[in-house]
Chains A and B, each alone.
Chain A
Amino acid sequence: MTHMDIGAGVPFIDTRDLGKRYGGLHAVRDVSLSIYAGEVMAIVGDNGAGKSTFIKMLAGDHAPTSGEIIVDGRKVEFKHPRDAKAAGIATIYQDLALCENLNVTDNIFLGNELTKNPLLRLLQSRKMHDEARALLDELGIGIPSTRELVVNMSGGQRQATTLARVAKAGARLLILDEPSAALGVRETRALLDLILRFRGQGKAILIISHEMRDVFEITDRIAVFKRGALIAVRRTKETTPDEIVSLIIKGNS
Chain B
Amino acid sequence: MNQPVTQTPALTGLVRLLRTREGVVVLLLVTLLLLIGIFSAASPYFFDVRNGMNIGRAVSIIGIASAFTTLLMIAGGLDLSIGAVMNAAGVVAAMVLAQTNFGVPGAIAAAVLVGAAVGWINGVFIAKIGINPLIMTIAMQFILKGVTLGFSASASKVIVDPAFLAIGQGYLHLGVAAVPMPLLWMLLSMLALWFVLRFTQFGKWIYAVGGQPSACRRAGIDVDRVIIRLYTLSAVGAALAGVVLAGIQGAGIPYGAGNELSVIAAVILGGVSLSGGVGLMEGTLVAVLLVGVLKNGMTLLGISSVFQMVAEGLVLVVALTLDRLKGRL
Contact = CB atoms under 8 A, between A and B. Distances in A.
Given A97-B214, A100-B212, A110 B219 contact: yes
A30 B208 CA distance: 38
Interface in A88-123: 91, 93, 97-102, 106-107, 110-113, 115, 120-123
A251 interface: no
B326 interface: no
Contact of A110 (B200, B203, B221): B221
Interface residues of B, number: 21
A81 interface: yes
B201 A121 contact: yes
B218 A97 contact: yes
B207 A111 contact: no
Nearest to A122: B199
A100 B208 CA distance: 9
Given A110-B215, A122-B199, A123-B201, A102 B220 contact: no
Nearest to A114: B201
A172 interface: no
A99 B201 contact: no
Interface string B238-280: 0000000000000000000000000000000000000001100
A82 interface: yes
A85 interface: yes
Contacts of B212: 97-101
Contacts of A101: 207, 210-212, 277-278
Contact of B207 (A91, A99, A112): A99
A122 B219 CA distance: 19
Contacts of A112: 219-220
Contacts of A98: 212, 215
A123 B204 contact: yes
B56 to A, nearest CB: 29
A113 B215 contact: no
Interface string B262-302: 00000000000000011000000000000000000000000
A113 B207 CA distance: 14
Contacts of A81: 217-218, 220
A93 to B, nearest CB: 8
B200 A91 contact: no
A121 B219 CA distance: 18
Contacts of B47: none
A115 B200 CA distance: 8
B216 interface: yes
Contacts of A123: 199-201, 203-204
Nearest to A84: B218
B77 to A, nearest CB: 15
A160 to B, nearest CB: 16
B215 A97 contact: yes
A129 to B, nearest CB: 13
B202 interface: yes
Q: Which of B200, B204, B208 has the most CB of A within 10 A?
A: B204
B304 to A, nearest CB: 41
A97 B212 CA distance: 8
A105 to B, nearest CB: 10
A126 to B, nearest CB: 12
Contacts of B208: 99, 102, 106, 110
Given A97-B214, A101-B210, A85 B220 contact: yes
Contacts of B215: 97-99, 107, 110
Contacts of A106: 204, 207-208
A107 B218 CA distance: 12
A61 B204 CA distance: 24
A120 B212 CA distance: 24
A97 B219 CA distance: 9
B204 A122 contact: no
Contacts of B221: 110-111
B220 A82 contact: yes
Across the A-B interface, give the 5 residue pairs with the lowest CB-CB distance, nearest first. A111-B219, A99-B211, A101-B211, A101-B277, A121-B201
Given A81-B218, A85-B220, 19 more contacts: A81-B220, A82-B220, A91-B218, A97-B212, A98-B215, A99-B215, A99-B216, A100-B211, A101-B278, A102-B204, A102-B211, A110-B208, A110-B216, A112-B220, A115-B200, A115-B201, A121-B200, A122-B199, A123-B200
28 contacts: A61-B218, A81-B217, A81-B218, A81-B220, A99-B208, A99-B215, A99-B216, A99-B277, A100-B211, A101-B277, A102-B207, A102-B208, A106-B204, A107-B215, A110-B208, A110-B215, A110-B219, A111-B216, A111-B219, A112-B219, A112-B220, A113-B201, A115-B200, A121-B200, A121-B201, A122-B199, A123-B200, A123-B201
Interface of A: 61, 81-82, 85, 91, 93, 97-102, 106-107, 110-113, 115, 120-123
